[in-house]
Amino acid sequence: MDRTIASISTNNIGTSAINIVRITGPEAIEIVSQIFSNKKLKDAPSHTIHYGYIKEEEEIIDEVLVMLMRAPKTYTMEDMVEINCHGGYVVTTKILELLLTHGANLAEPGEFTKKAFLNGRINMLEAESVSDILNAKTTAQSQMAIKGLTGKTTKLITDLREKMVSLLSNIEVNIDYPEYTDELQITKENITPVLNEIEQTLKKIIEESKNGELIKNGIKIAIVGKPNVGKSSLLNALLEEEKAIVTDISGTTRDIVEGSIIYKGVVFSFLDTAGIRETEDIVEKIGVEKSKKLMEESDLTILVLNNNETITEEEKAWIKMMEKKEGIIFINKQDLESHLEKVETSIPMIYGIAKEQKGIEELKEKIIDLFGLKDLGNKDLSYLSNARQIALAKESLLSIQHAKEENQKETPIDMLAIDIRSAWENLGKIIGEYYEEELVDNIFSKFCLGK
Ligand code: GDP
């Protein structure tokens, strides 16, 4: 914890005009003073800027501005010094090197934010939002992350936890001081509405968080159908207009994604179904099991049918399977004579001509609509936004639901306390009230250097 750490905080250090090297921890000011020409720094008041030279013995390395911020009003709540030096690889790395030789440690990725967390300046939810802001590629993603940082979601979670604590303490009082039960009588009947309320709020958070995940990770879409119906043409049409941003959006999923576009602030990532497309009759060859797997991997399946042909048994089987998950049927080749029978299903259908880019806009709009992501700008995007947080919320919900079930039976009230406590602990883990060192390390290691 009392490590003094240093790192270069700016990116592309070879090409930017100014770079920032920062250092934080108990030795920060002392270490900078040793290499800085301006000797007033050591006793200067907090939040002041100082002009001078960084020197290696008598040699001037660079002319710099030094920002001095004393604990506790800093990002890490420890002394922090930021050196604004000239851009350029040699100078910047030389300054970092000097800090290290004078006693600073090289910061690990995310270590600045980890200090902020461990010193109690931000909670886990907020820390993860910092990481999300840094990684955001669309406006919606960054809006959502900023909401996380402003603490709205935290408040939702802490309010829920307070309700749980109050339930728990009432139960405890009833057990330990039965003589007071007149005033604080807690019965199966008066526990029920509180549990219901907690359950509803948790359900709502989890439900809305699915949007958060979609905004953050993008919607994974599989385009399937038998050969020659126009799957490649459809994919090309979807990617066509947005070629400029197709290349490198989806970071982590790049391997399995054939291309991505951003539509109305949401990333659509098309899964690579090439392997399947090569087989002669996809539905027959890949079989039901493989089809299921593909559907599991994607958030949305688009089945392409050919308007010019009659429907096959396999295609009917596909449609049945799709009814269980988000799906759209794209009926292609509307320019040709129709031989396709009417399909009885609740799955939305879009009619188009892939090779002429017709029906594409409608298809994209339908996708946004299906996932409830319309008018993102006006929505309150204060959800949990990663799998870790959502999994914990789900655990918490299960415990509350279990408590509710037990409450219907003859189970004594104090047994419910176990479930409620577990729900409370899991919510605590979301905001980092409870943490294991390994988890903390894991979360912060995903940050970039210097943050
Ligand atoms: P895939 O095997 O499902 O990927 O199908 P392709 O995209 O390769 O298309 C098969 C053939 O159908 C190609 O010759 C396309 O030019 C043609 N095709 C695709 N979309 C349309 C369409 O909307 N109308 C017509 N008439 N032909 C299309």
Q: Is any ligand 1 atom within 6 A of the Cβ of residue 353?
A: yes
Q: Is any ligand 1 atom within 6 A of the Cβ of residue 228?
A: yes
Ligand 1 centroid, distance to 97 Cα (angstroms)? 60
* pLDDT for the residue 144: 66
Residue nearest to atom 26 of ligand 1 (CA): 333
Q: Please name the helix (run of DSSP H) or strand (run of DSSP E) that holds residue 84, with its range, or none.
A: strand 80-86
Residue 187, SS3? coil
Ligand 1 centroid, distance to 352 Cα (angstroms)? 12
Q: Where are the beta strands (DSSP E) in 300-427?
A: 300-306, 327-332, 349-351
Q: Which CATH number fits domain 148-214+383-432: 3.40.630.30, 1.20.120.430, 3.20.20.70, 3.40.190.10?
A: 1.20.120.430
Other CB atoms within 10 Å distance of the CB of residue 408? 9
Please say if the pLDDT value at position 288 is more than 60: no
Q: By the 8 A CB rule, do 225 and 282 touch?
A: yes
User: Residue 23 pairs with which residues in a beta bridge?
Assistant: 6, 81
Q: Please name the helix (run of DSSP H) or strand (run of DSSP E) that holds residue 203, with its range, or none.
A: helix 188-217
Average pLDDT, the chain: 81
| Alpha-carbon span 83 to 428, nearest angstrom | 37
- Please give the single-letter amino acid code of residue 327: G
Enumerate the domain spans of the chain: 5-123, 148-214+383-432, 222-298+300-370
| Alpha-carbon span 336 to 229, nearest angstrom | 12
Between residues 191 and 244, the one the model is more confident about: 191
Q: Is any ligand 1 atom within 6 A of the Cβ of residue 231?
A: yes
Name the CATH superfamily for 222-298+300-370.
Answer: P-loop containing nucleotide triphosphate hydrolases (3.40.50.300)
- 387's CB contacts (< 8 A; 6+ apart) are 213
Q: Atom of ligand 1 at shortest distance to CA of 225?
A: 3
Q: Is any ligand 1 atom within 6 A of the Cβ of residue 230?
A: yes
Q: Which of 219, 295, 209 is nearest to 250 (CA)?
A: 219
Residue nearest to atom 11 of ligand 1 (CA): 228
Q: Which CATH number fits domain 5-123: 3.90.79.10, 3.30.1490.20, 3.30.1360.120, 3.90.1150.10?
A: 3.30.1360.120
| Alpha-carbon span 216 to 148, nearest angstrom | 13
Q: Please indicate, yes or no, whether the overall pTM of this predicted structure exceeds 0.75.
A: no
Segment 91-117, tens digit of pLDDT: 999 999 999 999 999 888 888 988 888
* pLDDT for the residue 279: 45
For residue 254, what pLDDT band results from cuts at 50, 70 and 90? very low
For residues 363-381, give the mean pLDDT: 77
Ligand 1 centroid, distance to 320 Cα (angstroms)? 24
Can you read off the two tokens belonging to residue 53? 């030279």
For residue 310, what pLDDT band results from cuts at 50, 70 and 90? very high
Can you read off the two tokens belonging to residue 146? 């900023």
Q: Is any ligand 1 atom within 6 A of the Cβ of residue 227?
A: yes
Please say if the pLDDT value at position 242 is more than 50: no
